[in-house]
Each structure stands twice: as structure tokens, then as C-alpha cells.
Amino acid sequence: MIRDHEIAQLIQHEDQRQRSGLELIASENYVSEQVMAAAGSILTNKYAEGLPGKRYYGGCEWVDRVEQIAIDRLCQLFGATWANVQPHSGAQANAAVMLAALQPGDAILGFDLSHGGHLTHGSPVNFSGKLYKPHFYGVEEESGLIDWEKVAIKAHEVRPKLIICGASAYSRDWNYARLRQIADEVGSLLMADISHPSGLIATGLLNHPFPHCHIVTSTTHKTLRGPRGGIIMMSKDFPNPMGIVNPKGELRSMSSLLDSGVFPGTQGGPLEHIIAAKAIAFGEALEPAYHKYTRQVKANALALALSMTQRGYQIISGGTDNHLMLINLRNKSCTGKAAELALGKAHITINKNMVPFDTASPMITSGIRLGTPAITSRGLKESHMDQIAEWIDRAILGHDNDAALKSIGQEVCALMEPLPLFVA
Ligand code: DSN
């Protein structure tokens, strides 16, 4: 019970916003009551720097068990043999990997942010682009697809120490096997950041980065449907290829470098309340109901993409294999910014997004990104997707007509308000 009236009221408004609207931000989701309860639990009071059984503080006997359960369930979910569940976010997970695997100034090769990549994969405004020497691959202008042979050419040209695959706005699957061949040819480590599609990967609906990728990172709050946070995993440990030794002169394992990359490298005390919530979410993801959920996420995305295409919207890469789609609005006389604003007035939450080869700025953009993880958690099915596409189309075409947007908003709320926030 929150007694701070000011904050309680604001949380109440946000609760109402989440219940009444259509949440189409591809990176958002709704968690179960038990995940929320753990995230708000008494474990927030505990300091536990270190790892289970190896802490710098007393009194860790219970959080040790919580954290070990989280590690074990995560390894089971992804077929990993090693995991660290402490990163506070996906960005923190990626920072820890780079600290462990690279020296400042080393070359890295990632997917271009403006083509759908992520800030932490080498953007010049991020630590990854400031501390390391970033190079990028992108999609083809015609097809909107990544050409793996062009990635190979780029890798041979720049000889990166780390190749990063994974994206925030790419609706197609990844060829991890080909990327591993490329990494081996140039003597690079290969890291997959599966933050977006991790839930679909865990349930076998997309290619699996293991055993091809040396290291895999993810957030836990997108398709994985856990609390906000990050994770790092490996399917097989190996001696670090950088030749880093311990005080006895022995080559350190990659797992020990990654653990050190998280703590003390980039973080202090782990958030054991969030780790408990992660453990619960991983447990939920091991249940058959979660497989049903991820299949529905994918089916909903396919249905929404089809309905948008039928209304004349151009989806980058021509469709979707996963939970999201990136839509080019250049043929609709509406910028991404204007679409985001108009849809917001109609109680439909989306984000503006640059499209590949965009000439508009990141604050304006020529596109929008739509995703189905959150609406699927609320119980929506393929049969609802055409209605959603119709609302989006009406809102974009009438983006400067506030009365029309208000009327769409009333229809949206009539559908969404009676639905629960979380359907297992
Ligand atoms: N904010 C995440 C997303 O929306 O995809 C990326 O960090």
C-alpha cells in the first residue's frame, strides 16, 4: 500500500493508461502478478555483491538460493551451461561483455542503429562507440534484408574483435551459423543480443543463437515477459582468447571474465528483488502456457502485418518472422513523430522509428515500429488484428483531426478496458 498520495495518484493514472489503451511498443509487455510481487518484495533491502556462495556481505543465505534458482532456470530455458542474471538492463549486460572481451580502442562490428540496430552495438553517442572502434553492417535498400555475404566482406575489411548480432527493429530471423563462420574466419568473438526475440527463441519459434554464438545477452522484459533487467549466457565456457591470466598465471575462463565484467566491472550490488522476479518469469517461460503465448505473439504479428499491408503500408523487409514490424510512412504523408502523437491521442501507444536510409532526423523519423507482445498478454488474437490496423490507418490518415482521433480512442478503450492486464 503506497501512502505517498502524490506518487500513488500518478501510479493510479499509469495503471489506468495501461488498462485502457492498446500497447503496441514492441519492447514492452505486461508481467504476471507474482513477478510484480517479487519485484516489490523485501529482497530490495539486501546487499549481495558477489555471486551465490561467494559474497562480500553476510546474511546472503536466502538470496543465494533465489539467485541460483534464477541461473538454473535460465540455463534450462536456453540450453546454456553458464549464466549471469545480475545485469540491471540489456545495456548493462552488453557493457559487461565488452569490458570482459575487449580492450579500449578494439574494433567492433554491429548492426547499424539507423537500420534497426541498438545504441549499445557501437553508436557514437553510447559507451560502445566511444570506448571501442565501431563499424557497422546494415540492410539492403531494395529488400530491407541483411546480406550475410556483405557482412563477411565488412568483417574481413575491419577485422573486429567482436561481432554483434541482434536488433531492436529488424523483423527477420538471424543466420547465426553463417555469422559464426565469419567470426571464425576473422578471429572474432560472436555475441548475439536477443533482447527483442528471446521469448520466441526460447520456445523454438526462431533460430537459436546457441551453439553458434560465443556469448548471448538479453533483456528480460520484452518477449520474455519478466521484470526489467538483463542477462548474459554461454552454451559452453572456454579459455578467454585475449590471453588474460589470473595471479597464478593461469588463463582465465571467459565465464570468470564475464562475471567480473558485471561485478565489479560495471555494477555494484545486484537487485535481488528483481532477480527473484526473473526467476519466477523464467519458471513461467518453462510452462506450456508460455509456448502458447509466444505462438500467439507471432501469429498476431503476422496477421497485423498482413492487415497493414492490405491498407497500403510498406513494411520494411516485406513482412515479419517475429513479434514486430517496421513501417515506412513515406507514402502516407505523415512523419513517424506525427503518427506517434496522433496514435497516442487515440490511446494507441507506438514509437516513431527511423527506417533504413531515412532522411528524417531521429526525433522526426519516416517510420513507426509496431509489436504484439503486450497486446497478446492481454488476450488479443489474430481476429482482433484487422480492427487494430483499421484504427491505426484511420489515425494516421486523420492525424491532424482531433475529433476523429478522440472517436478512435473511445473505440479502443471500449475493447481494452474490460480485459485483464495479464493472461497466462
Ligand atoms: N528501448 C529498447 C527498444 O525499444 O527496443 C531498446 O533499448
Most ligand 1 atoms within 8 A of CB, residue of 88, 94, 195 to mutate: 195
In this structure, the residue with its CA closest to atom 5 of ligand 1 is 168
Ligand 1 neighbourhood includes 353 CB (under 6 angstroms): no
pLDDT on residue 303:
98
Ligand 1 neighbourhood includes 218 CB (under 6 angstroms): no
Query: Is residue 269's pLDDT more than 90?
Result: yes
Contact status, residue 258 vs residue 245, Cβ threshold 8 Å: no
Q: What is the mean pLDDT of residues 372-385?
A: 98
CA of residue 149 to ligand 1 center, whole Å: 27
Residue 388 sits at φ, ψ, to 5 deg, of: -65, -45
Number of the ligand 1 atom closest to the C-alpha atom of 28:
4
Number of the ligand 1 atom closest to the C-alpha atom of 119:
7
Catalytic residue list: 47, 49, 193, 219, 222, 228
424 falls in which pLDDT band (50, 70, 90)? confident
Most ligand 1 atoms within 8 A of CB, residue of 29, 94, 118 to mutate: 118
Number of the ligand 1 atom closest to the C-alpha atom of 168:
5
Q: What is the mean pLDDT of residues 231-237?
A: 98
Q: How far is CA 124 from CA 117, 121, 130, 133, 218, in A?
A: 13, 10, 6, 9, 21
CA of residue 168 to ligand 1 center, whole Å: 6
CA of residue 323 to ligand 1 center, whole Å: 14
CA of residue 90 to ligand 1 center, whole Å: 9
Contact status, residue 102 vs residue 161, Cβ threshold 8 Å: yes
pLDDT on residue 59:
98
Q: What is the mean pLDDT of residues 109-124?
A: 97
CA of residue 270 to ligand 1 center, whole Å: 22
Query: Is residue 350's pLDDT more than 90?
Result: yes
Contact status, residue 121 vs residue 164, Cβ threshold 8 Å: yes
In this structure, the residue with its CA closest to atom 6 of ligand 1 is 168
Q: What is the mean pLDDT of residues 287-306?
A: 98
Query: Is residue 270's pLDDT more than 90?
Result: yes
Could you report the per-residue pLDDT of 181-190, keeping only the tens digit for each? Answer: 999 999 999 9
The DSSP secondary structure of 102-121, one letter per residue, reads: --TT-EEEEE-GGGT--GGG
Angle at 327 between CA 348 and CA 377, to 5 degrees: 45
In this structure, the residue with its CA closest to atom 1 of ligand 1 is 27
292 falls in which pLDDT band (50, 70, 90)? very high
CA of residue 94 to ligand 1 center, whole Å: 13
Q: What is the mean pLDDT of residues 208-232?
A: 98
Q: What is the mean pLDDT of residues 287-302?
A: 98
What is the chain's mean pLDDT, rounded?
A: 98
pLDDT on residue 209:
98
Number of the ligand 1 atom closest to the C-alpha atom of 120:
7
Ligand 1 neighbourhood includes 123 CB (under 6 angstroms): no
Burial environment of residue 49 by CB neighbours within 10 A (0 to 12, 13 to 18, 19 or more): middle
What region, left, alpha or beta, does residue 181 occupy, with left being phi > 0 and alpha being psi -120 to 50 degrees?
A: alpha
Ligand 1 neighbourhood includes 168 CB (under 6 angstroms): yes
335 falls in which pLDDT band (50, 70, 90)? very high
Query: Is residue 14's pLDDT more than 90?
Result: yes
* High-pLDDT (> 70) share of the chain, %: 100
* High-pLDDT (> 90) share of the chain, %: 100
pLDDT on residue 212:
98
